[in-house]
Amino acid sequence: MIDLSVRIKNLKFETPFLNASGVWCTTENEIDEILKSEAGGVVFKTMTLEKRVGNPEPRLYVTDDFSINSMGLPNLGVDYYCQIASKLKKYQKPLIASFAGFKEKEFYILAEKIDNTDFDGLEVNLSCPNLEGKGIFAYDLDLSFKILKNLKKITKKVIGVKLPPYNDRETIKKIAEKFLQLKIDFVTLINSYPLGAFIDTKNERLVIKPNQGIGGLGGRVLKPISLAQVILFHKFSQGKIDIIGVGGVETGDDVYQYILAGAKLVGVGTRLLKGPKIFSNLKKQLEKIFREKKINKIEDKLGQLKDY
């Protein structure tokens, strides 16, 4: 009997598959489609205090191997998402609110609004790379820790953090140890790599318009970077903080690699652009791997990488 369910604190996910916030989760109809699929839950579009149109088009470029985006956090605003959350409770799947402020104070206002709704958990997005003239909060560790410490005082809901990639082990170690102290429930690893570009040779120009044609790099090419972040965070947090692995998830084998690395759930981004049917494919493929390897549940292999 194969059991693909996992838990983050009191939240049960019947499968380990989620959308990565930003894809197929902007409108009520899109979120509804994810909840009707084999996804174990849903992460809403990163919400801000006010509705945002986002950056000018073209702002997304996708190939089989990678994606580049500079979306600029287009969303319908926190009040819209808080309103529709109650309608979507009928699916009895965890609803995770992703949110981001442009100033420190905005994170607290957003958390207070979300805390009084039917959302089950919060994902604090400290890692958006696509806002012109704005730095990435998560690269200012002291400010990030301050924000999270204060957010823990505001909400009793399950709370996690979406992080960007880091370039050295010591930074990941410092973050993991601090998150243990702050009692952060989960981390989402990782947001897109901040500086990606691609040139259209025929037209001799960059393929997206905002931010001088430079955006967040995602898709298949991101997976080796993300796997390394997951492995190190799992190690430095002693497996005590749950991880959602994001980056290049396309097949059941990708999911299994993330599980071995230490991720309890995975988020699908670039490949979800083709629609939520991917979750059904992932489930079938992962179950096949489990049958062949005689694995009963995800915890049996979570973080169980062998020494070379």
Which residues are marked as active site?
128
- Short-list 20, 51, 226, 24, CA closest to 128: 20
Pairing type for strands 215-218 and 17-19 reads unpaired
CA angle 135, 125, 101 (to 5 degrees): 65
Contact 123, 97 (CB under 8 A): yes
Q: What are phi and psi of 131, to 5 degrees?
A: -110, 115
CA 137 to chain centre: 16
| Neighbouring-strand partners of residue 60 | 69
What φ, ψ does residue 150 adopt, rounded to 5°? Answer: -70, -35
